[in-house]
Amino acid sequence: MGKRRHSRAAGHGLLRPVPFTRVEIDDCFWAPRISANRTETLAAVHRGLKETGRIGAFKLDWKPGQPNKPHIFWDSDVAKWLEAASYTLAAHPAGTLARQVDEVVTLVVRSQQPDGYINSHFSTVEPDKRWTNLRDNHELYCAGHLMEAAIAHFQATGQRRLLDALCRYADYIGSVFGTGAGQKRGYCGHPEIELALVRLYRATRKTDYLALARYFVDERGRKPNYFEFEARGRGEDPAGHFPLSYYLAHAPVREQREVTGHAVRAMYLYSAMVDLAGEACDAGLLETCLRLWKHATDRLLYVTGGIGSSRHNEGFTSDYDLPNDTAYAETCAAIGLVFWSHRMLALTGEGRFADVMERALYNAVASGVSLDGRRFFYENPLASDGRHHRQEWFGCACCPPNVARLLASLGGYIYSEGEREVAVHLYVAGSAKISASGQDIALRQETLYPWDGRVRITVESSRPARFAMRLRKPGWCVKPRVAVSGSRVAGRLGRGYLVIDRVWKPGDRIDLCFPTPARRVYANPLVRADCGRVALERGPIVYCVEGADNGAALESLSLARKARLSAMFEGDLLRGVVTVTCPAAKISALGWKDELYRNRPGRARKVTLKAVPYCVWDNREPGEMLVWIREDR
Amino acid sequence: MGKRRHSRAAGHGLLRPVPFTRVEIDDCFWAPRISANRTETLAAVHRGLKETGRIGAFKLDWKPGQPNKPHIFWDSDVAKWLEAASYTLAAHPAGTLARQVDEVVTLVVRSQQPDGYINSHFSTVEPDKRWTNLRDNHELYCAGHLMEAAIAHFQATGQRRLLDALCRYADYIGSVFGTGAGQKRGYCGHPEIELALVRLYRATRKTDYLALARYFVDERGRKPNYFEFEARGRGEDPAGHFPLSYYLAHAPVREQREVTGHAVRAMYLYSAMVDLAGEACDAGLLETCLRLWKHATDRLLYVTGGIGSSRHNEGFTSDYDLPNDTAYAETCAAIGLVFWSHRMLALTGEGRFADVMERALYNAVASGVSLDGRRFFYENPLASDGRHHRQEWFGCACCPPNVARLLASLGGYIYSEGEREVAVHLYVAGSAKISASGQDIALRQETLYPWDGRVRITVESSRPARFAMRLRKPGWCVKPRVAVSGSRVAGRLGRGYLVIDRVWKPGDRIDLCFPTPARRVYANPLVRADCGRVALERGPIVYCVEGADNGAALESLSLARKARLSAMFEGDLLRGVVTVTCPAAKISALGWKDELYRNRPGRARKVTLKAVPYCVWDNREPGEMLVWIREDR
């Protein structure tokens, strides 16, 4: 892959994502989740934020000795909820949610200090500690999330007051940080502000924000290391609890050759790097991103799209170290992978990025929230002895509002548009208003995806228009079929997309068929945890076995390699899912009495294994769960 | 199993262990380890104790601000070394070791307070905190280890000064604790003093010590709970970091129905309970021990004889929860299991207790120290990714001196003697002086056990003597053969022993043959971690595969169920071991390139798997290790 093509693809890209405000989703998979997100999750998160004092903290009236002492990362929780709520308001502008948003916006705006600073912790608890510990204190991280919330709020409501406040805050940050005389040469221990500043630039076209984002990215990891310098300034040992790689600050970002550290931090930083590579046609930075992408997806990716295997650093360990029962795979990290993938896709147009985005969305992200929208996974292991369950709230409450903002803006990940091109990245029933060849075009997707691989796309326009329709061939699909208005067409395959370049007449129908047999997946033998095991997939869905369907002792189950997999839609199960069944063997515990060890193996009896989508596990009675099932050769 | 038999077996038992001072070991397995223990381990531990200030702490001259602040459990480390060194002095009385022992004994004796109290931490660091936190502060635990050291020192040297000091300390403890007016009704968070007091009673015949041991055991776990009472007295929340079951103080010991808590604490407590059951013919207490034994060995025992699967509580979790890579299986816990097993064996005469003792000794205990005697495992996992290695020292240095005292007194676990009976529990080449039928008898064992199952025992006495020879039939042996002076005899099988009751003439030879084919072992299917896996054993030895013999990616190896196991003695390998080989399959990583997942399974290629004894792993270059190997049905 040459630099030339990437630099051509860079800039604003040939294709721009179609914003979620022009996309409607009415499919069987996401629409109910987006609805539960609006009616349940946003209310539950708001309640959590309110009850724990996170919203009230912006009144800046906390005094020592009082409860609910504002914590350094509280503002980010409120900001992510505000962002999610704003996205939701764009489609449903009235009601309780609008009042709640208004109240929070008012509090945040009023909390702004005369110099522009906004932070509920440092304005009350430690006013003398502002900008003294960028490594640990999440100040710029919180600022970044507030910027994203402000942009969402402006775009949803047209109101400028939060956006203006955050622009003032960004201007102030720009005066504090940089390479100029008297400026601090710091950057945040938890990346986030970098991508937020690019978004702020795109919303306001003020190039200072882009330059500040670039400063934060380029300064990161330079020698002498700012975090060490800063720790010495506080009179502390510069060697902190975590190594610099945990913060992605062990080397300048362009010299980082491997994915490392805290998974969410890595994803947010890499996302900003792609943004900057695109804005500046920076082929070198894009090469760095491509190299890191390859490392992440060739060595560190769970089959569910989860990343960051270790609880210790909430992040990455060594190549192929992908334990299942102790998998951390934080929901926020999978969301971060969606952000990164989507940006890589936007910049390169290559389907492999959409493949990973789809894998993460339908599996590791969707598992993050219960079907009723009220309970959340922080960790998404691939095996459970029955003791791992979603919770209503967390002391570190990053995941619930993060999944809320992604679901509320999911429409923005489905399509892209360009001068003479339209791309469909995800197959989600619904419609979109798109601009191509100088006219407004309405696309309508009809499909039961992900349960069925047939998709009909109808093109509605006032007059014929010539453009290339780029239809993603899912990486899991071997032989796609495509027809236009009833006639089979070959289509050119380019960068993972079926390209049909023609004059589209009003009412033209594209019929896609991606056959979805249930299939077996094997991990590279270097993945210790998955040797001798098989996972089941169908379409974009990764399956698991649960105690509710298979009884206890799931490890005693095994599949014969040649046993036939069957798939069936069960409308009454888990709000409607396709299940996969297969003849299997189960080592019987009968006849063992109290023996713990013996020289004769246990008898295997024939059973039928039933697998359900991983993303819906733990929505029934508590029990064991397993993704990688033992396989008999 | 009726109460009658146990009460008959109780009291002093029909058989008394033959003390190690009358046993000589010159076998191929233990003798080199005992030699390394004497020449290397004792010196290394002494150096560690000295350098970290543990020995110097008994000078009681530590002042605030100085380094090497005496820690609450330091005395126990010194005590266990002193005990081990004393045992060693019994056979090798002169030299450096004798001088080192003398120096330490002098320091300990001089550190005794006027009231009898001995503790290097509380006499210097927190003199006002004596007996204020029995739950956490290890005071009585340290006292117990000092008592064991004093008994060993007296028995090795005939000197009374340390024993007298510890008797004074025990008398003082007896004045502080008990149910009398003004006495504290406490007991130690870490059991140890209970079994030490029984030993002190047996060494001195002073019944007060037996009564005090009984008080500590019986008071434990009574309501109101002393640890909670004591915490309130310190103004602390009575709910500590760990539940009361961690300390085995959640219920009176006779009501404890399941093994729980910290593994070493459990083993030391249970050992004292067996001692007390025996001393008082207490059938009820013995029933409790038998019940706990059954739970431990039916549900919680690693195949290596390791116990206590969790690092969190250094102890037990739930039934069948025996993870391999995260197995804690502390060396001290396996040693504690040997203590408990040996006492159960002494009291009941049943071979099943010797079976577990042998399993722990040859595997989980022997693995605790390197072949050169210089490095130690604290944790003994059953699988390693190559990063687990023995260390020279630990901040909490309990394991090295504990393994040292067991090895130095190992001779005491081999034989028992009674009026008209002699029992051989372990097959270890060497000799013993035994008393039976009123005369002194010399037994000589010639064998290459554990590498070979043939054992010749020669009986030497001045005149014929009638007694029953009880020869343990190892639980792993299916068809033993036995001959006396060349003539095959049937022998009666009783309680796991071949019993030959006859008049033994001087020079009579018993030839035992326990066939030792390598064999497969399977775990109960309720052990999640071992489903679809097999372990290899031969004689008392549990095997493992190591990277040094099998390359990396051990999880990619699998054995066909019917594949033939071969065994061979390799004199040059790991100081001489029998290895087990077997044709196996290995999933090849070739042809995977950079794919992390794919729909085609990896190709299996034929290899020869080579397994070495678990106890000698990590004595070569660092690499992976695995006990439970995948098996193809």
**Within 10 Å of residue A431's Cβ, how many Cβ atoms?**
18
Residues A339, A195 contacting (CB under 8 angstroms)? yes
What is the C-alpha separation between A84 and A44, in angstroms, rounded?
Answer: 13
pTM of the model: 0.93
Residue B12: its pLDDT value, please? 38
Higher pLDDT, B2 or A28: A28
Substitution target in B524, B543, B595 with the highest count of A β-carbons within 10 Å is B524
Band of the pLDDT at B591, cuts 50, 70, 90?
A: confident
pLDDT for residue B8: 36
The minimum CA-CA distance between B356 and chain A, rounded to whole Å, is: 12
Cβ contact, residue pair A524, B385, below 8 Å: no
Token readout for B381 is 């996992």
Q: Is B194 a catalytic residue?
A: no
Mean pLDDT to the nearest integer, A540-551: 98
The pLDDT of A92-119, averaged and rounded, is 96
Q: How far is B473 from chain A (nearest CA, A)?
A: 17
Two tokens at B399?
């394991």
Per-residue pLDDT, A15: 85
Query: Within an 8 Å CB–CB cutoff, is residue B603 touching chain A?
Result: no
The three-class DSSP label of residue B546 is strand
> For residue A296, how far is the Cα from the chain centroid?
14
Say what the pLDDT of residue B2 is: 35
- CA–CA separation, A180 vs A211, rounded Å? 13
Q: What residues of A are annotated to the active site?
A: 314, 398
More confident call, B2 vs B160 = B160
A319 touches chain B (CB under 8 A): no
Q: In this predicted structure, what is the pLDDT of residue B39? A: 95
Contact B629, B535 (CB under 8 A): yes
- Render pLDDT for A334-374 as a digit per residue (tens, 0 to 9): 999 999 999 999 999 999 999 999 999 999 999 999 999 99
pLDDT band at B519 (very low <50, low <70, confident <90, very high): very high
| A446: contact with B, CB 8 A cutoff | no
> Which pLDDT belongs to residue A628?
98
Cβ–Cβ contact B528 with A under 8 A: yes
Q: Tell me phi and psi for residue B548, to 5 degrees.
A: -55, -30
Q: How far is B189 from chain A (nearest CA, A)?
A: 29
A279: Cβ contacts below 8 Å, ≥ 6 apart: A11, A12, A198, A201, A210
Please give the average per-residue pLDDT across A214-237, as a whole number: 97
What pLDDT shows up at residue A315?
A: 97
Mean pLDDT throughout B57-80?
Answer: 96
Judged by DSSP in three states, A459 sits in strand
Please enumerate in sequence order all residues whose Cβ is within 8 A of that of B584, keeping only pairs 6 or more positions apart, or say none: B557, B558, B559, B560, B563, B606, B607, B608, B609, B629
The gap between the terminal CA atoms of chain B, to the nearest Å, is 38
CA nearest B109: which of B141, B69, B149? B149
The structure tokens listed for B5 are: 């038999």
Contact B531 A556 (CB under 8 A): yes
Say how many C-beta atoms besides its own lie within 10 A of residue A55's C-beta.
Answer: 23
Mean pLDDT confidence for B275-295: 97
Element (H, E) at A70: none
Task: Using the predicted structure, report yes or no on whether residue A4 has a pLDDT greater than 90.
Answer: no
B522 vs A598: CB contact, 8 Å cut-off? Answer: yes
B599 touches chain A (CB under 8 A): yes
The two beta strands, A508-513 and A481-484, are antiparallel
Residues of B in contact with A298 (CB under 8 A): 594-596
Question: Would you call A601 and B556 a contact, using CB atoms and an 8 Å cutoff?
Answer: no
- The confidence score (pLDDT) of residue B437 equals 86
Confidence (pLDDT) at A345: 97
Average pLDDT for B28-39? 97
For B168-196, how does the pLDDT look when each residue is reduced to its tens digit (9 = 90+)? 999 999 999 999 999 999 999 999 999 99
CB nearest B596 (choices: A297, A520, A588): A297
Q: Which chain A residue's Cα is nearest to B383?
A: A528
CB contact under 8 A, B597 and A525: no
Q: pLDDT by residue (tens digit) across A305-324?
A: 999 999 999 999 999 999 99
In angstroms, what is the C-alpha Rg of chain B?
25
Contact A338, A360 (CB under 8 A): yes
Helix ranges, A434-512 (H): none
Residue B577, φ and ψ in degrees, nearest 5: -140, 160
CATH of range A3-7+51-410; options 1.50.10.10, 3.30.56.10, 3.20.20.70, 3.50.50.60:
1.50.10.10
Whether B162 has a pLDDT exceeding 90, the answer reads yes
pLDDT at B213 over 60: yes
CA within 13 Å, CB half, B284? 6
What lies within 8 Å, CB to CB, of B451 at 6+ separation is B28, B29, B539, B569, B576, B577, B578
pLDDT of residue A1: 32
Mean pLDDT value of segment A563-580:
98
Average pLDDT over residues B132-150: 98
Residue A23, chain B, CB below 8 Å: the answer is no
Q: Tell me the chain A residues in contact with residue B352 when contact means C-beta distances shorter than 8 Å.
A: none
Check B528 against A599: CB less than 8 A apart. Answer: no
B111 pLDDT band, cuts 50/70/90, is very high
User: Is-contact A355 A337, C-beta < 8 A?
Assistant: no
Q: What is the CATH number of domain B416-513?
A: 2.60.40.1180
Instruction: Give me the residues paired with residue A468 across strands.
Output: A421, A501
3-state secondary structure of A48: helix
> What are the domain boundaries of chain B?
52-241, 416-513, 519-632
Q: Which residues of A touch B550 (CB under 8 A)?
A: none
Residues in chain A: 633
B461-481 confidence digits (pLDDT tens): 999 999 999 999 999 999 999
The SS3 assignment for B59 reads helix
pLDDT of residue B5 exceeding 70: no
On the question of pLDDT at B7 being above 60, the answer is no
Better-scored residue on pLDDT, B515 or A91:
B515
pLDDT one-digit tens code per residue, A572-620: 999 999 999 999 999 998 889 899 999 999 999 999 999 999 999 999 9
pLDDT digits (tens, 9 = 90+) for B358-378: 999 999 999 999 999 999 999
Q: Which amino acid is at A325?
A: D
Of A338, A413, A295, A278, whose CA–CA distance to A6 is shortest?
A278
Cross-chain Cβ contact A599/B520 below 8 Å:
yes
The 10 Å Cβ neighbour count of residue B74 is 24
Q: Is A555 within 8 Å of chain B by CB?
A: yes
B143 contacts B130 by C-beta, under 8 angstroms? no
pLDDT for res B1: 32
Q: With an 8 Å Cβ cutoff, are B597 and A297 in contact?
A: no
Confidence of residue A272 (pLDDT cuts 50, 70, 90): very high
Residue count of chain B: 633
CA distance B405 to B426: 18
8 Å CB contact between A1 and A350: no
Contact with chain B for residue A303, Cβ under 8 A:
yes
**What 3-state class would DSSP assign to B417?**
strand
Structure tokens at A519: 């299939």
CA distance B131 to chain A (A): 35
Over residues A241-257, mean pLDDT: 97
pLDDT band, residue A435 (cuts 50/70/90): very high
Half-sphere exposure of A95 (CA within 13 A, CB side): 13
**A517 Cβ contact partners less than 8 Å away, ≥ 6 residues apart:** A538, A565, A567
Rounded Cα distance between A111 and A120, Å, is: 7
- Taking the C-alpha atoms of residue A281 and residue A298, their distance in angstroms, rounded to an integer, is 26
Supply A415's token pair: 């399509």
- In this predicted structure, what is the pLDDT of residue A397? 86
What does the buried/exposed string (b/e) look like for A295-306 if buried means 16 or more CB atoms within 10 Å of the residue's CB? bbbebbbbbbbb
CB contact, 8 Å: B606 with chain A?
Answer: no
Q: What is the pLDDT of residues B449-462, one digit of tens each?
A: 999 999 999 999 99
The residue to which tokens 């969606």 are assigned: A338
Distances (CA, A) of A577 to A373, A573, A627: 17, 6, 17
Sheet containing strand B23-25, edge to edge, reads B23-25, B430-436, B439-447, B454-461, B508-513, B481-484, B487-488
Average the pLDDT over B7-35 and give the result.
81
**Short-list A17, A5, A628, CA closest to A354:** A17
Residue A387 pLDDT more than 70? yes
| Residue from A524, A550, A603 whose CB has the most chain B CBs within 10 Å, to mutate | A524
Helices (H), B487-608: 547-550
Q: Percent of chain A scored above 70 by pLDDT?
A: 98
> CA–CA separation, A603 vs B505, rounded Å?
51
Q: How far apart are CA B296 and CA B286, in angstroms?
A: 15
DSSP string, B347-363: HH--HHHHHHHHHIIII
Q: How many CB pairs under 8 A join A and B?
A: 128
Is residue A462 exposed (0-12), middle (13-18) or buried (19+ Cβ within 10 Å)?
A: exposed
In this predicted structure, what is the pLDDT of residue A2? 35
B468: which 2 tokens? 């029953």
In chain A, residues 396-435 whose CB comes closer than 8 Å to chain B: none
Cβ of B597 and A522 within 8 Å?
yes
Contact state of A633 with B558 under an 8 Å Cβ cutoff = yes
Q: Which residue has the tokens 């996302």?
A: A271
pLDDT in tens, A473-499: 999 999 999 999 999 998 799 999 999
* Residue B103 annotated among the catalytic residues of the structure: no
Q: What is the mean pLDDT of chain A?
A: 95
For residue B43, pLDDT over 80 is answered with yes
Terminal-to-terminal C-alpha distance of chain A: 38
DSSP labels, A92-124 = S-SSHHHHHHHHHHHHHHHT--TTS---TTTTT
Interchain contact B596–A (C-beta under 8 A): yes
